[in-house]
Amino acid sequence: MGILHDLLAAEVYPALGCTEPIACAYAAALAAAELGAPVEGVSLTADPGTFKNGAAVTVPHSGGARGNLVAAVLGALAARPELKLEVLKAATPEMLARAGALQAAGACRYRCLPDVRGFRVEATVFGGGHEARCVLAGGHTSIVLLERDGKILRQADINGGEGEGHAYRAALREMPLRAILEESVKLDEATRRELKRGVEMNLAMAEHGAGVRGVASQLRRMHESGLAADDIFHRTKILVASAVDARMAGLPYPVMTSGGSGNQGIVASLTPWSVGTARGVPEARILESIAAAHAVNAYVKSFTGELSVICGCAMAAGIAAAVAIVYQQAGLDMAKITCAVGNVAGDLGGLICDGAKPGCAVKSVTSVDAAMRAAFMALDSYGVSGDDGVVGHTVEESVRNLGRISLEGMFPVDATLLDILEKKSVASGRA
């Protein structure tokens, strides 16, 4: 339970809203709790991945507003850091009105840190002649600095230890996937209950999403018009899309994350849950497969990065879901698991992340479809050849290749995306 315990604690937790804006809210809440005075202004900076992920997603309890800055201002006014990534549960209509007044008065500033690789959020709050600052880095809840009026209250070394947030990922990168999976499926009862709670939380979000006019409703219409069969693929895609639709629309309910991402948590948990229940797999086995999915998601992200240029729902969570489905039927058959990983990598490798937004539900459907096809082909011992493109001859080689594509080959993509998003913001008057 060593590494599994660490990654579940650090990457699998409830989050209310998209995790990047909510991390900005959390950082601001941490700073505001130390300010000792009413908040009169907020300054926020964020890495490119966080910047793009907050550009178009609706923030819960914001009256339909979008973006990292409104989340940070609400978090500062709430000043309830003990709620972590559910901090906006404490937001009230009065706080929303105050947030709007502060922004209208020009008391709130926001900028991107264009040269930063990896997750980093810095929130500074001002009031009563004082200022307090919080820095998160390496993970959405990983505090590396907390200070008031220049006096350090809390500090951690981002290069090793608490501040890194995911220090165990260095160990993951050195382990063969089989060893990771062998450990991840050995569950105690407390872990099984927590995994089941995560499934129930995400199923509840899917129910809330049934009334959202989004991708899931379009899939239903396709079935009604005879364009899609009511099969296991269709039902699983509707389930996942409903939850993502609800989340991206800013509905005020939490989901259980994976890898610190709510959408990845939805894909990695609801896909194997839907497939397993439809195929009569015992619940205990399904929960083991979901634990394996969380571990695989973390493993892939240890190579591709916390906020990757490539779509995490496709690459990390899609691969994780495929492995989980194979485990349900074939156990730790590494030949079949290798086929599943290669099938997803060969299918979706290079699919970019262009920020969190309602359209993420489209990509989640693509991820689910690819994961299920990859798994069912792998169960028949079919896999894309290791001589094909990014696909390796081993599962570890495939994942390392994806990491190189993300961190070496495609990193400049984010700069182009940020320019596109900035021009859209100016054109719409949101700048």
Tokens of 115: 């040269």
| Cα–Cα distance, 31 to 64 (Å, whole number) | 25
pTM for the structure as a whole: 0.92
Residuewise pLDDT in 10s, the chain (431 residues): 578 888 888 899 999 988 999 999 999 999 999 999 999 999 999 998 898 888 888 899 999 898 999 999 999 999 999 999 999 999 999 999 999 999 999 999 999 888 887 889 999 999 999 999 999 998 888 899 999 999 999 998 654 433 344 678 888 999 999 999 999 999 999 999 999 999 999 999 999 999 899 999 999 999 999 999 999 999 999 999 999 999 999 899 999 999 989 999 999 999 999 999 999 999 999 999 999 999 999 999 999 887 778 888 989 999 999 999 999 999 999 999 999 999 999 999 888 888 888 889 999 999 999 999 999 999 999 999 999 999 999 999 999 999 998 888 887 787 888 788 777 765 655 54
Domain ranges of the chain: 18-164, 169-416
| Cα–Cα distance, 405 to 116 (Å, whole number) | 18
CATH class, range 18-164: alpha beta
The torsion region of residue 259 among left (phi > 0), alpha (psi -120 to 50) and beta comes to left
| Cα–Cα distance, 16 to 277 (Å, whole number) | 27
Radius of gyration of the chain (CA): 21
Q: What is the DSSP letter of 338?
A: H
- Enclosing H/E stretch for 25: helix 19-35
